[in-house]
Amino acid sequence: MFDIGFWELITITLIALIIMRPEHLPKFAKDVGKFLGKLRNFIYSAKKEIVKELEIKEIHELQDSIDRVDSLMKEAPDKIISEKDNAEKNNT
């Protein structure tokens, strides 16, 4: 996930030990773990929602394409000619 090497991890640990007293580190680690879990759940749910929205958008785009093809088919020259022929046959 993160590109943290061994020495970076040791440095972060030493800085945490200097800033916080050792007796507070377990509670801090627990809080960080809870925060990362909540962050992970938020990212998962946001990703799931985006995928759902994209699928809905694709369905609407597909329906628009179908409607355009349908309107083009109704306006096709052969369709107009056949409708005129049918109208002339009905008038005679």
Residue among 39, 17, 44 nearest 29 (CA) = 17
Q: pLDDT tens digits for the chain (92 residues)? A: 467 788 888 898 888 888 888 788 788 889 988 998 999 999 999 999 888 888 888 888 888 898 888 888 888 777 666 666 666 666 66
Within 8 A by CB and 6+ apart from 28, the residues are: 16, 20
Token pair listed for 47: 């990703």
pTM above 0.85, yes or no: no
